[in-house]
Each structure stands twice: as C-alpha cells, then as structure tokens.
C-alpha cells in the first residue's frame, strides 16, 4: 500500500511534494465539510442564516479561504490565483511555484448532494520582480509541473499528474490518508460516450453542430456506430468519468454570451484538466489549437474545450480545420 506522502517522496521534488501535500490537507477539510452537508451550514446562498441562526457561508467561499490560507503559508508557493478572486495573491518571495485553483468546481451541485471537486495547477515561478504578479502566471499549460483534482463524490479521490502519467488515489477515512489505487491511469483512444450541454446547440459553430449531428445519427450516420450522452454539469465529474471509463467532454465555442469564447476558464479548468487527460493518453483542443499551447492573455480567460478520447478530439479538430475556423470563432 502506497500513501500519497510516499508517492510524492519518490516522484516529486521537495517544493512540489510540499505544495501537493498542502492542497491535499485542505481537500480533507473540504471533504469533511461536504460530508456534514446541511449540518455544517454550507447549503444555500452566502448571507443566509441556518436553523441555529448562524450565518451561512457558501462552501466555495470557505474552500477558497482554506486553500488560499494554506498555500500562501507554504514557503514554496510564490503566488496563488483562484477562480473565485479577481486578483492574484502574491505569497512567499523565495517560493519557486505558482498555484492556480478552482476551489469548488460544480458548486451548484452542493445543494443537491452531488459531486463537486477542487481543480489545481502548479506552474514554475520565474522571478521577474519583488513579488509574483499576474504576468508571472500567464504561462502556457505546457509549462505546468503538476496538476490534478480532488473529487468529492461517493468517495473522495485525487487524480494527479507530475508530467509522467496520471496516478489515482482514494481517501481512506479510517487513516485520513490518500492511498494510491492506480499509478498509470490510461484512457482509450476511441469511445462511444460524449458529454456536452446540448441545449446550447443553436449557439455553436457549424463544425460543432456537424460533429454532434454525426453522433446523434449513430449507426445511421457518418460515424457508423451508436453513441451515448452523459452530462453531470460539473466538469470535474465528467472528466473523472472519462479517466475511469473513457469518453469525450466538450464545452465548445458558443455565441450565447457575446465576447466570451467559451464558458470554462483556461487557467483553472482547461489547462489542469488537459494536462491530466493528455498524460492519461487523451487529447485536448479548443477546436483549433492544442489547449496547452495557448498563450494566456488574462488570468480569468475563458476558452472552448474539447478533451478526452484521441480519435474524437481529432475528429472535432478536423471539422474545424475543414471549415477554416480561427481561434476566435471567425472563419479564415
């Protein structure tokens, strides 16, 4: 039996091991709060009072505060960026790492007792000034030195990549430790399962409509086989399912909200999940480019996402190429 601590000792540098340990410790606290649910006063909107007349805090706020406090106290951490905060938080001057996180992905699932999770990405800090700034974070996903997620579902799990494959851990409530359950998670290149919010169909670009039309047509269409849909509406759960049994996940470019290229965030969701998926043998694109090659322009940048089984990701990209789609959704 290998614990997370043992795994990190033999697979990670000291700063990375320390940072992942800090994230794991915070994840255990978040998991405990989630397990208590309504009894911990975490349901409902922030600003409400619970039955005891105590002020309720939304768990995404609590999770954010927990992670931010723990990471900024870690001497290896030079700066932290959270999906929940407008500005980045500079941390320790001598730190060598930057961490971005989505403290509670899928947080609307909390009130209905469904899966949520914490997504994280670790980047190197190339000292440019006295303390870390937003510009230091704007590195392509290919620069990540570690990434993964803690998923709080029927059990709590950690999927972790340090750039050499993906390891999966399961949290043991008895020993309060993460235990390695698979040190080489791989996903199949082909699949018959796809995840997309099809209610956005009318806002998609033509190649995405063409792709989904092909899947819906099943064995009567160009793909010559039947496909099945799954959509949890929490990226963390959809990606976890893909790691476990394959599939393709999409939140593509849409015109629903003018000026937004997609819904998901590059630095908190798309890059870390792309790193995990690629390291498990899958692929990831925004439709035009490999996601991890995109040079970020803004810490909260949004991006279209198609990731998972290689064959499907390549198929989607080929349709975009054929249609001459550019990165901003325009035609060439």
By the criterion CB under 6 A, which residues form the site for ligand F6P? 105-106, 197, 233-235, 251, 263-264, 269
Q: How far apart are CA 81 and CA 102, in angstroms?
A: 9
**Given the complex with ligand F6P, which of 85 and 323 has the nearer CB atom?**
85
CB of 247 to ligand F6P, least distance (A): 13
**Given the complex with ligand F6P, which of 57 and 263 has the nearer CB atom?**
263
**Given the complex with ligand F6P, which of 12 and 235 has the nearer CB atom?**
235
Closest by CA position to 303, among listed 319, 291, 317: 291
CB of 266 to ligand F6P, least distance (A): 12
CB of 29 to ligand F6P, least distance (A): 21
CB of 232 to ligand F6P, least distance (A): 8
**Given the complex with ligand F6P, which of 111 and 172 has the nearer CB atom?**
111
**Given the complex with ligand F6P, which of 105 and 278 has the nearer CB atom?**
105
End-to-end CA distance of the chain: 54
Q: How far apart are CA 247 and CA 155, in angstroms?
A: 21
Alpha helices in 227-309 (DSSP H): 235-245, 271-279
Asked whether 252 and 204 are in contact (CB, 8 A), the reply is yes
CB of 263 to ligand F6P, least distance (A): 6
Which of the 8 DSSP states describes residue 159?
E
Q: Which two tokens stand for residue 40?
A: 């911990």
Beta carbons within 10 angstroms of residue 231's beta carbon = 15
Q: How far apart are CA 201 and CA 24, in angstroms?
A: 38
Q: How far apart are CA 265 and CA 244, in angstroms?
A: 23
Q: Which residue is nearest to ligand F6P (CB)?
A: 235
Asked whether 275 and 291 are in contact (CB, 8 A), the reply is no
CB of 99 to ligand F6P, least distance (A): 18
**Given the complex with ligand F6P, which of 251 and 275 has the nearer CB atom?**
251
């Amino acid at each position: 039996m290998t614990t997370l601590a043992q795994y990190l000792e033999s697979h990670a540098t000291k700063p990375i091991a320390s940072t992942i340990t800090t994230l794991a410790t915070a994840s255990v606290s978040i998991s405990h709060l989630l397990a208590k649910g309504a009894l911990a006063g975490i349901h409902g909107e922030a600003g409400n009072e619970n039955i005891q007349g105590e002020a309720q805090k939304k768990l995404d706020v609590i999770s954010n505060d927990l992670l931010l406090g723990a990471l900024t106290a870690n001497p290896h951490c030079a700066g932290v960026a959270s999906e929940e905060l407008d500005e980045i938080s500079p941390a320790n001057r001598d730190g060598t790492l930057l961490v971005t996180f989505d403290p509670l992905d899928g947080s609307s699932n909390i009130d209905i007792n469904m899966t949520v999770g914490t997504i994280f990405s670790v980047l190197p800090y190339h000292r440019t000034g006295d303390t870390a700034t937003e510009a230091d974070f704007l590195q392509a996903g290919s620069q990540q030195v570690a990434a993964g997620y803690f998923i709080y579902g029927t059990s709590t799990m950690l999927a972790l990549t340090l750039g050499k494959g993906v390891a999966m851990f399961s949290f043991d409530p008895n020993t309060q430790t993460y235990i390695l359950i698979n040190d080489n998670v791989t996903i199949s290149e082909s699949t018959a399962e796809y995840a997309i919010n099809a209610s956005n169909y009318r806002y998609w670009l033509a190649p995405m409509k063409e792709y989904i039309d092909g899947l819906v047509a099943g064995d009567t269409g160009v793909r010559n086989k039947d496909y099945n849909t799954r959509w949890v509406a929490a990226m963390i759960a959809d990606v976890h399912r893909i790691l476990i049994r394959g599939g393709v996940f999409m939140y593509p470019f849409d015109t629903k909200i003018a000026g937004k290229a997609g819904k998901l965030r590059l630095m908190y969701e798309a890059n870390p999940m792309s790193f995990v998926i690629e390291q498990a043998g899958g692929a990831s694109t925004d439709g035009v480019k490999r996601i991890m090659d995109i040079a970020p322009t803004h810490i909260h940048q949004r991006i279209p996402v198609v990731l998972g089984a290689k064959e499907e990701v390549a198929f989607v990209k080929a349709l975009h190429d054929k249609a001459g789609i550019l990165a901003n959704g325009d035609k060439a």
